[in-house]
Amino acid sequence: MPITQESAPSPIAQRLEVIRANLPTSVRLIAVTKQVGVEAVREAYAAGVRDFAENQVQSAEAKQAELQDLTDITWHLIGHLQSNKAKKALELFEWIHSCDSLALAEKLDRLAGELDKSPQVCLQVKLLPDPSKFGWSEAQLWQALDRLAQLSHLQIQGLMTILPLGLTDAEMLHTFQSLKTLATQISNQGTFSLPHLSMGMSQDYPLAVAAGATMIRLGSIIFGDRP
């Protein structure tokens, strides 16, 4: 019997199947939908994805408005958040991976209190110099821990990082391992525990998983190259 168009898995479903086949079930796959149309988002949803990420508040708002019928999606913010969009971000996202300064963390905490929300937060760390990226240096993060621990409306869950371009595989692995070490050291120090590591994108996620990622953020490998 010929395979009909409807019964053939979509390219998106096929790519997800390949990715999942080699992924420990403990790793949460987050589909990054920036510049991806809602039809493709629906295909990923149909293939079982429930975690989706956007890097901008505005584009997320438009997309979520078109996907309101998919009520069990968890939305993640992964891009730099300007403080004037913090309130909107809390309304749109359950997870904020890109908390990259104490000022932002404090603002999110205050607004979360007002909105009666308790967002899941990752602290974005910049382990290597990268002028195009935001994030805490390790020293800044250590210094801020006591203040961060007082932000009672935020559920600080872990660390997030984005690697600079141009690293070798060995350097990538080493940098991911450094994030894991940092999270372990902070957790051991007892201020709060950081069980989650949000690290790994399409080009580097197998190395991130090998280093202990609990959440990977995949865009182009699922949806194809962005324009």
Ligand X SMILES: *Cc1c(COP(=O)(O)O)cnc(C)c1O
How far apart CA 67 and CA 72 sit, in angstroms, is 11
Alpha carbon of residue 130 to chain centroid: 19
The answer to the question of residue 40 lying near ligand X (CB under 6 A) is: no
From the CB of 34, what's the least distance to ligand X, in Å? 6
Residue 215's DSSP bridge partners are 28, 198
49 is a contact residue toward ligand X (CB under 6 A): no
Q: What is the signed CA dihedral for 92, 66, 11, 163, rounded to 10 degrees?
A: -30
Instruction: Out of 41, 162, 183, 199, point to the residue binding ligand X (CB under 6 A).
Output: 162
Find the shortest distance in angstroms from Cβ 9 to ligand X.
21
Q: Does 201 bind ligand X (CB under 6 A)?
A: yes
DSSP 136: B
Identify whether the C-beta of residue 33 lies closer than 8 Å to the C-beta of residue 53: yes
Minimum CB separation of residue 178 from ligand X in Å reads: 18
Give the residue, chosen from 27, 29, 31, 32, that forms a contact with ligand X under the rule CB under 6 A: 32
In one-letter notation, the amino acid at residue 77 is: L
Q: Which residue has the tokens 């991806």?
A: 36
* 36 scored as a contact of ligand X (CB under 6 A): no
- Phi/psi of residue 76, nearest 5 degrees: -120, 135
Q: Candidates 21-29, 68-76, 132-140, 199-207 — which segment interacts with ligand X by CB under 6 A?
A: 199-207
Using CB under 6 A, pick the residue from 16, 79, 123, 151 that binds ligand X. 79
> Residue 197 Cβ, how far from ligand X at the closest point, in Å?
13
